[in-house]
Amino acid sequence: MAKKKIAFVTDSTVFLTEDLKHHPDVFVVPIVIISEGKEYEDGIELSTEQLYEMIRTEKEVPKTSQPNVGKFIELYERLKEEYEQVIAIHVSSKLSGTISSSKAGMEQADLDVEIIDSHSLSFAITFLLEQGIELVKQGKDAKEIGEYLREKANRHRNLILLDTLEQLFKGGRLSGAQFVIGNLLSIKPILSIGENGELGVLERIRSAKKANRRLIELIKTSCEEHAVKRIGIANANAPDKANALKSELESQVPGLEVVIGEVSSSLAVHAGEGAIAVFWSI
């Protein structure tokens, strides 16, 4: 039986559109969520509803861990038999060790995989997958697609608006005093995953209203400067916020296509319920 041309592998930090979810050449390896000593495969053994319940009720923040190397070995052994080439697009290596597991699995399966660091997660990976699939239709091979997608990954931008400081406090990123003062002053941090793939605080804004206004201002400026045509809004159990932001951006940036989806569990663990993350490419 003839082998299919190119398979795409990613991890569960991705947001899967309906098309990607049902695409026969897209394969997702789940990130591991650890809560109270138990391990769950993201999206398989743990739903987003269950994760938010853990975040609300448990004293310690659930943690994330890279997939076991064995998961990649198993998948790559299978793909080696079915496909001519494989491209893997993963969460930023500065946020997770997933790429290390993927590379180790590739080596042990004795398969040459074109591995790409997205320097981000969620919709950033979504967009790279969609572009890669389109390039396959144009007859490009894995190496050509890999080079193109690495260049595109460097041009991704994002902003993450937190609803609460609680996850940063529980996760040890804020001291008790900073947490109390931040709550008293109604501080709403805007975070961003930089070009190097690291997550950091971009701005600290007083009040949700001002933070939302600043978020729109930053996105609108980038869209106008770089003629952005499409953005993705990922929400952490906050669909009303996402829809309101979508409406506002569509009214302020003519012709902008806005896609809404859920944040990945790995981002929800760190950002907390109510967070909004916006992704685009310049």
Domain boundary among 153, 174, 205: 153
Domain boundary among 90, 123, 153: 153
The answer on 134 and 15 residing in a single domain is: yes
Give residue 185's pLDDT: 47
Measured between alpha carbons, how far is residue 3 from residues 82, 85, 146, 229 in Å? 5, 9, 20, 36
Residue 53 lies in a domain: no
SS percent in the chain: helix, strand, coil, step 5 = 45, 30, 30
The answer on 120 and 85 residing in a single domain is: yes
**pLDDT band at residue 177 using 50, 70 and 90 as cut-offs:** very low
- Give me the CATH number covering residue 75: 3.40.50.10170
Q: Which tokens hold the place of 27?
A: 């394969």
The answer on 89 and 201 residing in a single domain is: no
Residue 237 lies in a domain: yes
Token pair 């997958």 is found at 129
Q: Are 156 and 124 in contact (CB under 8 A)?
A: yes
The answer on 165 and 118 residing in a single domain is: no
Specify the pTM: 0.92
Q: Are 86 and 232 in contact (CB under 8 A)?
A: no
The answer on 161 and 147 residing in a single domain is: no
Which residues partner with 163 through β-bridges?
none
The answer on 129 and 98 residing in a single domain is: yes
Give residue 102's pLDDT: 98
Q: Are 229 and 202 in contact (CB under 8 A)?
A: no
Give residue 6's pLDDT: 97
Nearest alpha carbon to residue 93 among 8, 15, 20, 199? 199
The answer on 141 and 8 residing in a single domain is: yes
The answer on 161 and 138 residing in a single domain is: no
Q: Is the pLDDT of residue 149 over 60?
A: yes
Q: Which tokens hold the place of 44?
A: 């398989």
Give residue 235's pLDDT: 96
Number of domains in the chain: 2
- Give me the CATH number covering residue 256: 3.30.1180.10
The answer on 118 and 13 residing in a single domain is: yes
The answer on 148 and 85 residing in a single domain is: yes
pLDDT one-digit tens code per residue, 192-236:
999 889 888 888 898 989 999 999 999 999 999 999 999 999 999
Four-point Cα dihedral 123, 127, 129, 134, nearest 10: 160
Residue 43 lies in a domain: no
Q: DSSP letter at 66?
A: P
Nearest alpha carbon to residue 266 among 160, 107, 109? 160
CA–CA separation, 27 and 18 (whole Å): 14
Domain that includes residue 140, residue range: 4-31+66-153
pLDDT one-digit tens code per residue, 136-146:
999 999 999 99
Percent of the chain with pLDDT over 70: 92
Q: Is the pLDDT of residue 176 over 80?
A: no
- To the nearest whole number, what is the mean pLDDT of the chain? 90
pLDDT one-digit tens code per residue, 30-77:
999 998 889 999 888 888 888 888 888 887 778 889 999 999 999 999
**pLDDT band at residue 170 using 50, 70 and 90 as cut-offs:** low
The answer on 192 and 117 residing in a single domain is: no
Q: Is the pLDDT of residue 171 over 90?
A: no
Q: Which tokens hold the place of 236?
A: 């952490």
